[in-house]
Structure 1
């Protein structure tokens, strides 16, 4: 399940996208990148002077990735694992293409500007089921684990899975195989945080980086599922394709988008430090992420914080540490959905509206960035805003 959320504004969108996307009319194509509010606060232009992600390939396991103008020169041949017409560069939903553009779009012809515009995208098309209530998920007709294994055997360093499925031994085995091949895997936590959390896989596997969403108001999005979250990233009010005909952009919300931003952020870091392992890239991302305002290292909604690649690229922060130790796992343990194995943070009170572990850092007043305050992304703990509590519980099959 996952990925984008919607409010019923257009009938055609309802039939195409289910309940997992929030959509509203976006700006015209000529200024669509201006709607990407997070690029300025993340200091994207400055980061691109250091790294654009060039030399790094991200495998996008999704509904396919259409060769759009903004992805011109970014797409590799890929592989189709469905029985649908076309190939891996035919997107039967607007989902995979939207995800890929958030990662690697060049912004050409007024299109979406990716966080890592130098990245190559390896599209791996799987068949996703559409459901009016539950959104997109593995249809069961095509093996998601097969796509993971293809990615594991490819030159891709990062696997982006803005999709969800049920836990199976075959899926877990494929994830373990990819991790053993040195891949860094990001997956969406899901979008039912405001309706009651459910475990989502592969995000809930211990060696997969589960990504939740934050909005432009420095709050964890109400829809962002929590409990298994490792990192968060911008995921609300971001341009995505409205329909399968790719006629216009709409504003979308979802942990799918957040996962794409996290994957692109990792690519920026890895391109600048090509000798680092996946473990080291993830470790510095966790260390430099914006933390809860109470000073804790972890909260169930923010995870270890919101990604801030500029802290690594521009400020030189983050200790890569042991290249062989996965930062989410205990040394002696191996991942299992039924036996959480990562080193958990210290016990904290249950999350609620008054818990400071749900507050996030706000930018310093003299930071000088244009646009909305986004201290989750850019800086200091001088104030805080309250994260809206999402849901009332979550079955933890992961680490916490």
Structure 2
């Protein structure tokens, strides 16, 4: 079988056009960093941001400082302070840890960048040390007070040590709680040789956060203990680093930052809600993932930001993490305990809070690309069919030796005119009102149609005689002489 290569050129061109459109309209391929942030999808952050972005809330990051010049943190970082006795503010980070934590909380993607949990929040960096190393108790205690006095409504402490908080650290934490500040701390990592919840996260009133993996399972690198309050993603958390970089973090430091971002979302959504009620809302809406009630791994459960923002949770008057009942009571607020729903949202109507459960931007993008490719291919197919039909007619006309100008006068779908290129069929009279075509005489054996004289040069068909057995009546002849007289007249 031979293939007409020329006839395939339009199809190839259309296919190439479709692929070019698909290639141009692939922003997902141009922004791979957001695709690495699996934890944002598990927490439904795209939908959460339709309800709250943390706008107007100040989150203090007590850490190694924050690189405020990072493209994804521009405009997000306040001046802050240094609590280790040096002059200057908190907008410098030789270690990179504090910048990574700040990005998890409040990064704003700039082009091919990453997203934070609360991109509307502001970061107040409190630099606890210079370079790498450990933090002194005095620097931590002073840093907490600096954060409160600097206007922070949430304090994140992604660090820890063995034992309990020092008296000055405990006093500073009480200062923060008394000033209506939500304090969040990382539970600790087994890689550091610990097997119990670290200080200052284990201080009563602080939200101690353990880690989970993709899918919500307990992360093996996280410590556990009765002081655990909630769990959040802590395995392979992708976000920014210092020197305008990006990278992964493993640890409850990242888990703590995620919960601090959630606290900022709640405080922005409910600006009149007290810190104890914010804490209560976080633990009340957590998805109970371990044994029923509070357990050493997940605490009250894995955080659910959408439910924390939209569920009907009554306010409380005191911190639910304080008091003897806080260690074991799964329902410190007396409202029915954490729901074991597996992430379902049957307790509230999401549509009342701006969440329509619609597709994500990436899904819309993929659907749009698919529609564009299909439209381009359909258009290309239509062009090819029109072109191919015309080519076929031209080839047929050339085979019949019909001039192109005659072919162009033919209206598609209508019979050709009598004078186009069809001759008079043999044995048929011309249509009424049309003379016989030149060179064609009257068909032999036929008389002209009624009302038409014989064509010039045509008389009675030759060789025509009466049928056998037909002739003049017998005894009949031409009359001769006078007519006979009737008998009555004789």
Normalized against structure 2, the TM-score is what? 0.58
Q: Distance in 2 between matches of 1:279 and 1:272?
A: 15
Q: Distance in 2 between matches of 1:79 and 1:326?
A: 28
Q: Distance in 1 between matches of 2:286 and 2:343?
A: 14
Q: Look up the match of 1:162.
A: 158
Q: For residues 1-400 of structure 1, what are the structure 2 equivalents within 5 Å? A: 30-67=31-68, 68-82=70-84, 87-127=89-129, 130=132, 137-139=134-136, 143-165=139-161, 167-192=165-190, 196-227=194-225, 228-241=227-240, 246=243, 248-292=245-289, 294=291, 296-313=292-309, 316-322=310-316, 324-330=317-323, 341=324, 343-345=326-328
Match of 1:82, SS?
Answer: coil
Q: Distance in 2 between matches of 1:306 and 1:126?
A: 29
Q: Aligned-pair distance for 1:199? A: 4.3
Query: 1:280·1:321 contact (CA, 8 Å) conserved in 2?
Result: yes
- Summarize the Cα distance change of 1:194–1:88 in structure 2 as closer, same or farther, 3 Å threshold: closer
- 5+ unaligned residues in a row in structure 1: which ranges? 1-26, 131-135, 331-340, 348-359, 371-400
Match of 1:201, SS?
Answer: coil
**Greater share of residues in helix:** 2
Cα deviation 1:105-161 (Å, max 9, x = unaligned): 01113222101100011011011785xxxxx53145x62100001112221100000
Cα deviation 1:205-247 (Å, max 9, x = unaligned): 01111011111032111111110210111111111456x5x25
Q: Distance in 2 between matches of 1:53 and 1:290?
A: 22
Q: Look up the match of 1:390.
A: none
Aligned-residue CA RMSD (Å): 2.8
Q: Distance in 2 between matches of 1:265 and 1:64?
A: 21
Query: 1:206·1:342 contact (CA, 8 Å) conserved in 2?
Result: no
Task: Count matched residues.
Answer: 308
**Greater share of residues in strand:** 1
- Summarize the Cα distance change of 1:187–1:279 in structure 2 as closer, same or farther, 3 Å threshold: same
Query: 2:197·2:224 contact (CA, 8 Å) conserved in 1?
Result: no
Q: Distance in 2 between matches of 1:148 and 1:163?
A: 13
Q: Distance in 2 between matches of 1:202 and 1:329?
A: 15
Larger Cα Rg: Structure 1 or Structure 2? 2
Higher relative contact order (CA 8 A, sep 6+): 1
- 5+ unaligned residues in a row in structure 2: which ranges? 1-27, 331-339, 345-356, 361-490
Query: 1:287·1:318 contact (CA, 8 Å) conserved in 2?
Result: no
**Which deviates more from structure 2 when the two are superposed, residues 120-129 or residues 168-177?**
120-129
Q: Distance in 1 between matches of 2:304 and 2:274?
A: 19
Query: 2:107·2:114 contact (CA, 8 Å) conserved in 1?
Result: yes
Query: 2:53·2:118 contact (CA, 8 Å) conserved in 1?
Result: yes
Match of 2:190, SS?
Answer: coil
Q: Distance in 1 between matches of 2:93 and 2:65?
A: 4
Query: 2:224·2:296 contact (CA, 8 Å) conserved in 1?
Result: yes
Which aligned segments of 4 or more residues in structure 1 are displaced greater than 3 angstroms?
27-30, 82-87, 193-196, 360-364, 367-370
Q: Distance in 2 between matches of 1:147 and 1:110?
A: 34
Q: Distance in 1 between matches of 2:239 and 2:114?
A: 8
Normalized against structure 1, the TM-score is what? 0.71
Query: 2:129·2:135 contact (CA, 8 Å) conserved in 1?
Result: yes
